[in-house]
Amino acid sequence: MHTDLRFQEFARHLRLFWLLLVLMVWNSSVVSGQVRRPVPGSPVASEPTYALDIEILVQPFPVYGLKSQEWGRELQKSRYIPRFRDARPGERLVIENVDRNSKRVVHVVGGMDRDGNISIGDQTYELQNAEQLIARFDELAKWGAGGRPTDRPQWGLSAEQLEQIVSQLSAAVETPIPASSPVAAVDSLKLPERIRVTWTDAAREHLQTLKPVADAGEIEMNGLSTGTSLAIALAQFGLGFRPLVMPAGDVELQVDVGNEHSNLWPVGWTTKEPLGDVAPTYFRGTDVGELKDVALTGLFQIAAERLQLPHYYSEYELQAGGIDVQKLTYSRKAGRVSMFRLLTYAGAQFRLGIDLRVDEAGHGFLWVTTHDESLAFRKRFARPVD
């Protein structure tokens, strides 16, 4: 009994490590921000703003003093006033977010060379191009040390922050999610107390274009984790979300317009485990009788039942791609074939992508989307060759 519990705990940590590793492959960075609080009841996303604490390291020689004065005159045109000081032994250049009295500050330690060029991070700026350094400071003041979260594969989160969010979004969803609107879907989820949901302006505008569907029904989540369930529900409306960490440590899930090509929380993940472990019969051949004009949705239903996995459709993207799955039929001669091959053949015929993915807790499911969206997902999680 104790051995089983220890193994389950080890498996959970292994899954978290794998999700972190996959995201690290994209790139890693750190971003967080002081936010403008939305008016209560108004789901507006926060806009990060930061104060800058800038230090430029110099050497104790007259030429550095002269160059520091020249830079000071140039930077007077901006709102940024760096402190030029002698470097301490072993001191390194850094760009980092720090929390000072519950305010978000970007601490920048740059360096100056004998020619007066200033290095910030991996970029070097010449005095005659001071406007480029000012633009860099503007970016840091707006987005923090990690840059724009939409451009950062890890949304500007540290590995520790990301692991915490993955853990928080791993709880199972046991009740159906309303499919009538994205707001109803979000409201139905029992998110942890320190997680709040906001909506970008683009998402709010997108909401106005959606027609209410009174008889939309519900999405049965079958115990999938909260993060994947939310991603599935929002994807039905052309939306997704990205995580942001607030100054006090609270998590904000920012809903935005997007799909697999956007840097949003993915609809499921790849798994380091063999797919045959997630679905033991996935690659196992089985006798399949002749299929003649079988409804494609019925075929997917049967395949999901044989694999003992839930399956979901990316309704918004399928419609945007001009694909009405309900009207499609599939024919095939009798023969022995695995569910993997059968789904692959059927998908290829209609430019569909039928992926076996896992949620944050490692539970498998089938996701039916467009071929283009499926390729974007695979590219997003592609790993470099060792």
Q: What share of the chain is helix, strand, coil (3-state, %, to 5)?
A: 35, 25, 40
339 close to 364: Cβ distance less than 8 angstroms: no
Please state, in angstroms and rounded to a whole number, the distance separating the CA atoms of residues 63 and 65: 5
Measured between alpha carbons, how far is residue 345 from residues 93, 224, 337, 357, 364 in Å? Answer: 54, 27, 10, 18, 21
- Per-residue confidence of the chain (386 residues) as pLDDT tens digits? 444 545 455 455 555 555 555 554 444 332 222 222 333 333 444 444 789 999 999 999 999 999 999 999 999 889 899 999 999 888 889 988 888 887 889 999 999 999 999 999 888 999 999 999 999 999 888 878 776 665 566 777 777 888 888 999 999 999 999 999 999 999 999 888 888 899 999 999 999 999 877 678 899 998 999 999 999 999 999 999 999 876 566 778 999 999 998 889 999 998 888 888 999 999 999 999 999 999 999 999 999 999 999 999 999 999 999 999 999 999 999 999 999 999 999 999 999 999 999 999 999 999 999 999 999 998 887 543 33
Angle at 255 between CA 249 and CA 256, to 5 degrees: 130
Sign of the torsion angle spanned by Cα atoms 299, 301, 302, 306: positive
Which fold does the domain 275-380 belong to in CATH? Phage tail protein beta-alpha-beta fold (3.55.50)
Contacts of residue 338, defined as CB under 8 A and 6 or more positions apart, other chains included, come to: 282, 283, 284, 285, 286
Query: Alpha helices of the chain — where are they, by DSSP H?
Result: 2-26, 62-75, 130-143, 159-168, 182-188, 201-209, 226-235, 275-278, 296-307, 315-320, 339-349, 371-380
CA distance 303 to 352: 15
Which has the closest alpha carbon to 157: 145, 167, 169? Answer: 145
Using the Cα atoms of residue 155, residue 161, residue 165 and residue 170 in order, give the sign of their dihedral: positive
Q: Compute the distance between CA of residue 310 and CA of residue 301 in angstroms, rounded to an integer.
A: 9
| Rounded alpha-carbon distances, angstroms, from residue 129 to 75, 126, 247 | 11, 5, 34
- Domain ranges across the chain: 2-28+150-257, 51-143, 275-380
Least Cα distance to 232 among 311, 287, 159 occurs for 311
- Rounded distance between C-alpha atoms, residue 17 and residue 20, angstroms: 5
Burial of 381: CB neighbours in 10 Å, binned 0-12, 13-18, 19+: middle
Q: How far apart are the first and last CA of the chain?
A: 38
Which residue type sits at 18?
Answer: W
Structure token pair of residue 65: 């003093």
Give Cβ neighbours of residue 295 (< 8 Å, ≥ 6 apart): 326, 328, 329
Q: How much is the pLDDT for 213?
A: 73
As given in the structure block, the two tokens for residue 195 are: 């997680």
